[in-house]
Structure 1
Amino acid sequence: MIPTESATLIAQNTMIAADGLSSTKIKVLVFEDGLIQKITGGDVITLTTTAGSLGTVTDNGDGTYTAELTSSMIEETAVISGTLNGNSIVLTASVSFGVARLSTFTTTLPLNEQFDPAVTSYTASVANAVDSFKVNPGTVSGERVKLTRIIDGWGYTLTANNESAGITIYNEGPNDFTFTVEGAFQRPTVYTVTIDRQRSAKLTDMKTTVPNFAFDPNKVNYSAVLFNNTTTLTPTFEVGTTVKVSINGSALSPIHSGDPVTVPISGGGKEEIVLFHVTESGKAERQYSYRIIGK
């Protein structure tokens, strides 16, 4: 016997995020006598899906039936099929479960791995002199990338595909950055890039009779005007660090941590230049300069 009824499957959204939470309605429209839509319920509808999960079919009492399709955590396409009163519904419906990913990722720094959209963690080691880099994250149309520097939460959103971003590497050692790719009806993907900037040799402190030489291990140039005949600079540093000092271009001489360095002040506007050359195995060299003008 040829069925006099037929049905059509319609997905409210053809793409939802592959997050195991997002869902869309699957609607069944029942027709009788060709293309006349029924306005009453009572039909037996079954639905199955190749991916995700389907909720119970609800009879809306008006010739339509609905069920909720929930996504999986996998980027895949669900094909929904069904039966009407025991007969197969000819046409199916499809819903894609989407994941927003970078399509390309170029940077002025050499990453330790060649970029793969499925790999979400990358590292690069750079010399101490490298304090910035640029990135160009590429996406498919309509996606955006949020760039965040982990240490201070700084960041902004790149809305254009392959938009260039300049990033400062503030700290020695590891610096972490994240690139969160977002798209409509898609699960975001977070890429983490760690830039390991070479550490440099440093003084730990500098005691001085110069009044405005407040010491900062990361500050290397100091200057002051003095009326004294002499002043002293007393550096301290960790075991394993080598420090050599020169005054006005004299040969560099090694000193011990806590050794005071006496600097004669000539007066008459003459400059006295004191250099502390700091080295340590495996670290970048650093030089501190003290410029003292005698009056």
Structure 2
Amino acid sequence: MSGRARYIDTTLPAGKGLRSRIVERPALALDADALAALIADVRAVARTTLGENELEYGVFSGDRETLSRTVLTVVYDTRTGQPVAFNALALLAVSLGGRRIDVLHLGLVMTSPQVRGGGLSAVLYGLTCVLLFVRRQCRPLWISSVTQVPAVVGMVAETFSEVSPGQAGTRASFQHRLLARQILRDWRHAFGVGLEAGFDEDRFVITDAYTGGSDNLKKTFDQAPKHRDGRYNALCEAELDYGRGDDLLQIGKIDMRAAARYLAKVAPPDSVTGLVASLALVLAQTAILPLVHWMDDTQAWGSLRPWTR
């Protein structure tokens, strides 16, 4: 953890020959020089992916307000020290049930060509989300994702809980719709969607989405990476107009079930690590968390604690 404050700044293994650095709210956690170096690493990864094409939104803007509500994960080659992948998550302030909450927007992921196909999505998305979930005392955390890539649509549906659209058996609730409306009303600039883009609330489809700084990310259906499960590929092909440049907005949660699914992927249940992790999750869910939540009088805890301060 960083010595500057209460924000996450930690380095963890990310696979053979790789390490990841996760920094929460870097504009607040880091000094000016360290922040500039981190953003330079992000831009270096982008150049390996986009060439001379540049993006103009989010972390690429260098805006301190944007970087004060961002969680950056950067993966480095341990031998050379070079950055090879990154993920920029955004914390979007919304209102739900009369309370202000943050939605964790999964944001932009880029990987250098030499490390693609190495399973880095689990680190870039899952590990960071689980770390933030634990950081917030394992309270359920809403997440959002905007993409036209079937592989990402499937990853979100299979990793998180209560995901709509995309997850079999999950229908959009009033909470899903309320969050979607606020995200499109207040935060479209956070993921490079222009004001002229439309939103089909029935299908959770953003129409003509690539006009707000994310123009160089637009793909055809053939170019978009596919998921191993053809259902997600079929969903995107049926719902999205790739010629126009549509995106799918997914809303879901990270909770104990999602954290357990992630751990099961990176640590098989029949291994010692998987068994210990599963027992720790059960213990936390049934014994430790209720006590932690009850002792913290700064947050509401369902019907047992009515105040919200």
TM-score, normalising length from structure 2? Answer: 0.20
TM-score, normalising length from structure 1? Answer: 0.21
Which structure has the highest helix share of the two?
2
Which structure has the highest strand share of the two?
1
Answer 1 or 2: higher relative contact order, Cα 8 Å, separation at least 6: 2
